[in-house]
Amino acid sequence: MTSKEPTPDQAEHNAFFPSPYSLGEYVPSRTDFDGADHSETTAARRKILLIGADERYLRVDGDRFFSTGNHPVETLLPVLHLQAAGYEIEVATASGNLMKFELWAFPAEDVAVKDAYEQLLPQTESPRKLSDVLENDLGDGSDYAAVFIPGGHGAMINMVDDPVIGETVAWFLKNDRVVITLCHGPAALLAAKDDNGDSLFAGYSICSFPDALDSGANVDIGYLPGPMTWLLSQRLRERGVTVVNDDMTGAVHRDRLVVTGDSPLAGNALGNLAVETLADAAQGGGA
């Protein structure tokens, strides 16, 4: 029987990759991507700011570390759709250091995902520093149409309390630009607060990764090397956000200009919904 023991990451003490068994359950050789048939946008704003995770090691209970980052499918399937619709992806991280990927989750036989990864690689290895984007490019006349925060447990490490991420996401929300995220990416939404410390996303409804997996099955099958120290959907609900899913089905959801999905299974559908929402936003349709 394939082992359910997490695999040690030799690069760091007490750090682990997912177990062989869990990878067999969660990582197919191909995604459900079947092409991106989109008309090229005629909107004036064509830039998408992709905020990537720049840290790899997530502490879990037991003083163990999960070797994580951004999930490649959750990053690249939406990118494929956005690029097909004529949008330009610009990658930034909070530190300006390279964007981290969970390459153990890469669909080995998916040519479209592989090509998208290689095309984006120069940016993910040398991203912009997010504070520079915030200071120089987010203002009147900005040509950013949306912000995209991919999933992967990497978003849980240091995005939730990062003031620059919070101010950046807040700018997109307040300026009627599209906010796109999925799985654990909504951790970044928690950083967007008003002057009283209340969430700017209170009253919104979203999809996110189900807590039941992070507190149960993902530990049992060795995907995680220990229970999470905090749970994403629980924290979102505590901040007044309605999480509409409790399981992982590939669901996507739109509330006004906020577009979300529940897991890697949602990557393809999220890309389609993001393109549709951007088209509506360009025509002034925020409902």
CATH classification of the domain holding 255 = 3.40.50.880
127 within some domain: yes
- Residue 203 belongs to some domain of the structure: yes
| DSSP per-residue string spanning 57-126 | EEEETTTEEEE--B-HHHHHHHHHHHHHTTPEEEEEESSSSPPPB-GGG--TT-HHHHHHHHHHHHHHHS
Q: Is 183 a catalytic residue?
A: yes
pLDDT reported for residue 284 = 83
Q: What does the DSSP assignment read for 134-184?
A: HHHHSSTT--EEEEEE--STTHHHHSTT-HHHHHHHHHHHHTT-EEEEETT
Distance CA 78, CA 272 (A): 8
CB 8 within 8 A of CB 57: no
Assigned domain for 23 exists: no
Give the angle subtended at the CA of 49 by the CAs of 183 and 173, to the nearest 5°.
75
- Measuring CA to CA, how many Å separate 20 from each of 2, 27, 104, 194? 6, 10, 10, 43
Domain count, the chain: 1
Catalytically annotated residue among 138, 183, 200, 236: 183
The confidence score (pLDDT) of residue 1 equals 78
- Per-residue pLDDT tens, the chain, 287 aa: give them: 799 999 999 999 999 999 999 999 999 999 999 999 999 999 999 999 999 999 999 999 999 999 999 999 999 999 999 999 999 999 999 999 999 999 999 999 999 999 999 999 999 999 999 999 999 999 989 999 999 999 999 999 999 999 999 999 999 999 999 999 999 999 999 999 999 999 999 999 999 999 999 999 999 999 999 999 999 999 999 999 999 999 999 999 999 999 999 999 999 999 999 999 999 999 886 65
In a domain, 60, yes or no: yes
Q: Is residue 21 part of a domain?
A: no
Nearest to 138 by CA among 183, 163, 175: 175
Helix axes 267-282, 72-84, angle to 10 degrees: 40
In-domain check, residue 20: no
Say what the pLDDT of residue 285 is.
65
Residue 187 lies in a domain: yes
Residue 15 forms part of a structural domain: no
Range of the domain at 79: 41-282
Longest dimension (CA), the chain: 59
- The candidate with the shortest Cα–Cα distance to 15, out of 55, 66, 59, is 66
pTM across the whole model: 0.97
For strands 88-93 and 47-51, give the pairing: parallel
pLDDT on residue 123? 98
